[in-house]
Amino acid sequence: GAVVSQHPSWVICKSGTSVKIECRSLDFQATTMFWYRQFPKQSLMLMATSNEGSKATYEQGVEKDKFLINHASLTLSTLTVTSAHPEDSSFYICSARRGLDGGEQYFGPGTRLTVT
């Protein structure tokens, strides 16, 4: 149990276009979902936390108008990278947690975004 899927697994887009990444908890209801960004050989950088039905909470330095997060249901959250630029190229990973407090996070397989 506790499987999280993420789609697409990789995407190449042109500069200026938008890309949507989906994160789904397949066999449990995720009260909270997290979006991370990871650069090669580095730790996870939390971008935002989203709770179902409410606005996402963004970390300092993350542009909310550029990285749009929608947590429409207890099993689906989406991240849209708007007007992507080459510096947005990265590995984006979502995770889901059952409860509001504590507990482990279940990670999706990640999305490799390349902006040309």
Tokens of 86: 């080459």
* Shortest Å, Cβ 112 to another protein: 9
**Rounded CA separation 111/6 (Å):** 7
Q: Which is nearer to another protein, 65 or 104 (CB)?
A: 104
Piece in contact with another protein (CB under 8 A), picked from 17-25, 70-78, 80-88, 98-106: 98-106
Task: Say whether residue 1 binds another protein (CB under 8 A).
Answer: no
| Secondary structure (3-state) at 87 | helix
Judged by CB under 8 A, does residue 54 bind another protein?
A: no
> Judged by CB under 8 A, which of 46, 82, 115, 116 binds another protein?
46
Q: What three-state secondary structure class fits 88?
A: helix
Stretch that binds another protein, among 18-26, 70-78, 82-90, 103-111 (CB under 8 A): 103-111
Q: Within a 10 A sphere around the Cβ of 92, how many other Cβ atoms?
A: 23
Q: Calculate ∠ Cα 84-64-80, nearest 5°.
A: 45
Which of 1, 61, 86, 102: binder of another protein (CB under 8 A)?
102
Query: Which residues sit opposite 33 in a β-bridge?
Result: 50, 96
Tokens of 32: 């909270």
State the residues that interact with another protein by CB under 8 A: 32, 34, 41-44, 46, 49, 57, 93, 95, 100-110
